[in-house]
Chain A
Amino acid sequence: DQQVKQNSPSLSVQEGRISILNCDYTNSMFDYFLWYKKYPAEGPTFLISISSIKDKNEDGRFTVFLNKSAKHLSLHIVPSQPGDSAVYFCAASVAGGGNKLTFGTGTQLKVEL
């Protein structure tokens, strides 16, 4: 039962353009959502998060949008840079659930010159 889904295993964009990574979830109890970036042979690195009481959170080039009614969130990176090439994981947690994270399967982003 995959409660957090990232249906695009890979995405390729040109440097300077916008990257949009998508994530869907099925558990209505999720109330906090996070994006992690992972380079090969390293652990995931926290990128940005959003609470379920908000619909948008922005941090520099990164913006996360949350659509609770659709159980969908997206990560926008603009402008995309070659150093952004990595695997991006969407994760979610339930209030009172110990803050343990449920992850999606990841999207491999490649930013080309």
Chain B
Amino acid sequence: DTGVSQNPRHKITKRGQNVTFRCDPISEHNRLYWYRQTLGQGPEFLTYFQNEAQLEKSRLLSDRFSAERPKGSFSTLEIQRTEQGDSAMYLCASTATEASTEAFFGQGTRLTVV
């Protein structure tokens, strides 16, 4: 297993367009997290899944954002009607079980909204 995989690595989009990112967690990890990191800040929690159930969403996740994990394996994060303020690094992480505290992160998707 090569770890958490995120695609694409980079995405440049025009304001108002929709974008979708994909995360493939470590195999058999049942928890999956999305974070967002802006310049000069640490990663900020967005949402997480246990298997296919989305258990929590941060107030940072406006109604333009939606995340899914339909079969409890990979996850997608969609941003509709992108705004320049959405420009950030979007990080995905997974943990083996609900008791695990050590999260393994992917390399992230760098989104630039122009």
Whether a CB of chain A sits under 8 angstroms from the CB of B107 is yes
Interface residues of B in 72-114 (CB under 8 A from A): 91, 93, 95, 98, 100-108
Using CB atoms, name the residue of chain A closest to B106.
A43
Which B residues are in CB contact (< 8 Å) with A105?
40-42
Other-chain contact of B43, A42, A99, A103 (Cβ < 8 Å)? A103
Interface size class of A (residues with CB under 8 A): 20 to 34
Whether a CB of chain A sits under 8 angstroms from the CB of B21 is no
Using CB atoms, name the residue of chain A closest to B110.
A41
> Do A104 and B42 contact each other (CB < 8 Å), given the known contacts A32-B101, A98-B56, A99-B101?
yes
Q: Convert B35-73 into 0s and 1s, putting 1 for each residue whose CB lies closer than 8 angstroms to a CB of A.
A: 100001111110010000001100000000000000000
**Could you tell me the distance in whole angstroms from the C-beta of B95 to the nearest C-beta in chain A?**
6
Interface size class of B (residues with CB under 8 A): 20 to 34
Q: Is the CB of A99 within 8 A of B100?
A: yes
Which A residues are in CB contact (< 8 Å) with B41?
105-106
Interface residues of B in 8-50 (CB under 8 A from A): 31, 33, 35, 40-45, 48
Q: Is the CB of B42 within 8 A of A103?
A: yes
Using CB atoms, name the residue of chain A closest to B10.
A41
**Could you tell me the distance in whole angstroms from the C-beta of B36 to the nearest C-beta in chain A?**
11
CA distance A105 to B55 in the complex (A): 26
Known: A43-B6, A43-B93, A101-B33. 7 other contacts (CB 8 A): A43-B91, A43-B106, A43-B107, A49-B102, A89-B43, A98-B56, A98-B98
